[in-house]
Amino acid sequence: MRVLVVEDARSLAEVVAEGLRDQGMAVDVALDGLAAAAKLDRNTYDVVVLDRDLPGIHGDTLCQMITERDDRAMVLMLTAAGSPGDRVSGLTLGADDYLAKPFHFPELILRIRSLARRKPTSLARTLHVAGLELDPVRRTTVRDGRPLELSVKEFAVLEALLRASPGFLSAEDLLEQVWDENADPFTNTVTVTVGRLRRKLGSPAVITTTPGVGYRIAEGPIRKR
């Protein structure tokens, strides 16, 4: 899942971003509306966590810009203006959810995951392929009835590959979806993470590699439940 945090208070933006990364999300940060608009033009996001009172382009205007896009992100307004009237006006602008500051971080995580599931292009909650069963909400993975203990990044890579199955994802695709825009495109991080994931998945191997193309789960499309 890729998230854009738009918040002009740098310290809060960094805390939120790091907390979401700890949950396996790829997170970019914009400190004003102009920077956010530029990132939205370059990248595709599942959820935008949007402060309302922003310099450059106001959060209300930015929210309307997001909702006018064909492949729009889901918008969670995160703001100090938390009265019922503020919530109504924010939702009227096209926001999909509204959370007032101060907030409890576990609630923020749950709301973001809920919005990602509601996105029109989202897939079924539980993913099944090649004897694997992955639940993004409960953060559990099972292969042929055997629970797997995966790191945050290993889990996120596996989820991305399952969602793309039977198609390929290049190393660049995985860097974009699992890490963020600051990831070094020349790093071997993807190779190392996929290698660890393969070992934990065990035999027979389910992740195949095609040089010059990328990685994929070897068996058929996802079955939805």
Per-residue tens of pLDDT for the chain, all 225 residues: 899 999 999 999 999 999 999 888 889 999 999 999 999 998 889 999 999 889 999 999 999 999 888 778 999 998 876 556 666 665 677 889 989 888 999 999 999 988 987 876 554 567 888 789 998 877 899 998 899 999 989 999 999 898 888 888 998 888 888 887 777 766 788 999 999 999 999 988 899 999 888 999 876 444 444
Contacting residues for 165 by C-beta, under 8 A, at least 6 apart = 129, 216, 217, 219, 220, 221, 222
Cβ atoms 57, 35 nearer than 8 A: no
**CATH for the stretch 127-224:** 1.10.10.10
What's the CA angle centered on 125, arms 121 and 129, to 5 degrees?
Answer: 100
Dump pLDDT digits (tens) for 189-208: 899 999 999 999 998 889 99
Q: What are the extents of the domains in the chain?
A: 2-118, 127-224
Collapsing DSSP states into helix, strand and coil, what is residue 28? Answer: strand
* Alpha-carbon 139 to chain mean position: 14
The pTM of the whole model exceeds 0.85: no
Q: Is 21 exposed, middle or buried (0-12, 13-18, 19+ CB in 10 A)?
A: middle
* Class of the CATH domain delimited by 2-118: alpha beta
Give the span between the Cα atoms of 177 and 181, in whole angstroms.
9
Dump pLDDT digits (tens) for 30-51: 999 999 999 999 888 999 999 9
| Rounded-to-5 percentages of helix, strand, coil across the chain | 40, 20, 40
